[in-house]
Amino acid sequence: MKRLEDGADDDPLAGWEFELPDTLIAKTPPLERDGGRLLVVGDTLQDRQIRDLPALFRAGDLLVLNDVRVRKARLRAKRRSGGAVEVLVLRAGDATPAGDVGEALVRPARKLRMGELLRCGSGSIEVLALSGEGRAQLRFSPSLSTLEAEAGEMPLPPYLDRPAHAEDERRYQTVYAVPGRLQAAAAPTAGLHLSEQLLVELSAMGVQRAQVTLEVGLGTFRPLTAEMLASGRLHPERYAVPEATWTAVETARRDGRRVVAVGTTVVRTLESAIGPGPGETDILLVPGWRPRRVDALLTNFHLPRSSLLMLVGAFAGQARVLAAYRHAVEARYRFFSYGDACFFPAPSGVTG
């Protein structure tokens, strides 16, 4: 097995690379939502279970969740020639009399032409504009919601290497997801572990709860490149922070109580926002960043060379995180979206 080590000078992402046996990539969720394993990464490593989470919290902790709902963002369309086109909806834009306008990834993008009309369900998708990286501006007729209801699939990550099943409509969605203007093209996967029962137990012991919404898209799941790293920017994603959440976070920080982020999307939202309300973030969090509003982090095991792995390394320390990943591989934890989770009780260098 390849050893995790510091990056080479000519490859700034080499230090975030690791080999992972395919057998450790979780293709399906655990039988029970809260039935996975949990690696606690503190001064020592502890092998625990997701159901142990209440034992790791304190009365007064503030648990912050991303309540975004995952849309049936993957659409299968047909060209006039009969050729198949895969459309992954990234964000919905304005509604027009002719249909809803939105941004998507399309494949194969190189074959499409501006103005082309694709068949999808009982409606159509018109190509309004094409840009780099397979992105396109599209018009969905009669509406995006109609096409998603008729032909949409849950947008499972490609590394699962399987079509979405009916069960994925429930399990690739958090129990606290709410419908709203902002909807995601990928799940905020740390939250997939939280069952209704766990949330009830946490509330009963005095853990407070608040929500933000971040529209998970390219900024979260696109592969990180050296160019992005050099610019310090990711693809922008929209978010919303309710007034009550902002007040709860500020009050917890003032009172010395922990703000516990469920997932990297919550971290990026809280670290980007300058107040309550809507916003957009393209922030890339790398070593050298010190969290201003997050004191602990629950997250999944992430892809190598990814912005998510780098964010966790920035939060908890690169060497500490890579040592935890080595242990997770050796202990045969399950990785990625449907895999197990890890909990960092405090940022790097902080033990309180």
CATH number of the domain bearing residue 126 = 2.40.10.240
% of the chain surpassing 90 pLDDT: 86
Which is it for strands 84-96 and 99-107: parallel, antiparallel or unpaired?
antiparallel
- In this structure, the answer to whether residues 193 and 324 fall within a common structural domain is yes
In a domain, 318, yes or no: yes
Distance CA 99, CA 123 (A): 10
pLDDT at residue 59 is higher than 60: yes
Specify whether 214 is located in the same domain as 291. yes
- 203 belongs to a structural domain: yes
Q: How far is residue 110 from each of residues 86, 131, 132, 135, measured CA to CA in Å?
A: 13, 10, 10, 11
pLDDT at residue 1 tops 50: no
Indicate the residue among 96, 127, 153 that finishes a domain.
153
pLDDT value, residue 48: 98
Among 102, 98, 93, residue whose Cα is nearest residue 75:
102
The stretch 135-163 carries a mean pLDDT of 95
User: How distant is the alpha carbon of residue 62 from its chain centre?
Assistant: 20
Q: pLDDT tens digit string along 87-96?
A: 999 998 888 8
Is 2 part of a structural domain of the chain?
Answer: no
State the alpha helices, DSSP H only, in 100-234. 144-151, 168-171, 196-204, 218-221, 226-231
Please give the single-letter amino acid code of residue 142. P
Q: What confidence category does residue 350 fall into, taking pLDDT thresholds of 50, 70 and 90?
A: low
CA 110 from centroid of its chain's CA atoms: 28
- 332 and 232 in a single domain? The answer is yes
CA distance 236 to 196: 31
> Which structural domain, as residue segments, surrounds residue 92?
74-153
Report how far residue 235's alpha carbon sits from residue 284's, in angstroms, rounded to the nearest whole number. 9
pLDDT at 348 (0 to 100): 87
Q: CA of 248: how far to CAs of 12, 63, 331, in Å?
A: 38, 10, 37
46 three-state secondary structure = strand
- CATH code assigned at 251: 3.40.1780.10
How many other C-beta atoms are found inside a 10 Å radius of the C-beta of residue 330? 9
The dihedral of CA 185, 279, 248, 243: what is its sign? Answer: negative
Q: Please count the other Cβ atoms lying within 10 Å of the Cβ belonging to residue 305.
A: 19
- Looking at the structure, do residues 266 and 130 belong to the same domain, yes or no? no
Inside any domain, residue 163: no
> Do 221 and 308 belong to one domain?
yes
Domain final residue, candidates 104, 122, 153: 153
Q: Are residues 56 and 93 in the same domain?
A: no
67-81: pLDDT as tens digits: 999 999 999 999 999
User: Could you give the number of structural domains in the chain?
Assistant: 2
**Residues 194 and 253 occupy one common structural domain:** yes
Q: Are 327 and 42 in contact (CB under 8 A)?
A: no
Predicted TM-score (pTM) of the model is 0.94
For 18, 39, 117, 331, the CA distances from 321, given in Å and listed in that order, are 12, 11, 48, 15
Residues 18 and 123 in one domain: no
Q: Are residues 313 and 245 in the same domain?
A: yes
Residue 324 has pLDDT above 90, yes or no: yes
In a domain, 241, yes or no: yes
Shortest CA distance to 53 belongs to which of 200, 231, 245? 200
Same domain for 323 and 290: yes
Average pLDDT over residues 324-339: 97
**pLDDT tens figures, 33-52:** 999 999 999 999 999 999 99
CA–CA distance, 94 with 113 (Å, rounded to integer): 22
Q: Mark whether 125 and 227 lie in a shared domain.
A: no
- Residue at which a domain ends, from 153, 178, 206: 153
Same domain, 263 and 216: yes
Q: Which residues pair with 212 in a beta bridge?
A: 66
Report how far residue 154's alpha carbon sits from residue 330's, in angstroms, rounded to the nearest whole number. 31
Q: How far is CA 196 from CA 180, 189, 203, in A?
A: 21, 16, 11
> Strand order in 341-344's β-sheet?
45-49, 37-41, 341-344, 296-300, 259-262, 62-66, 208-214, 233-241, 277-283
Encoded amino acid at 256, one letter: G
Q: Is residue 159 part of a domain?
A: no
**Rounded CA gap, 308 and 318, in Å?**
12
Whether 274 maps to a domain, the answer reads: yes
Alpha-carbon distance 310 to 287, whole Å?
Answer: 7
Q: Say what the pLDDT of residue 97 is.
A: 86
Residue 160 lies in a domain: no
pLDDT at 74: 97
157: CB partners within 8 A, 6+ apart:
186, 221, 336, 337
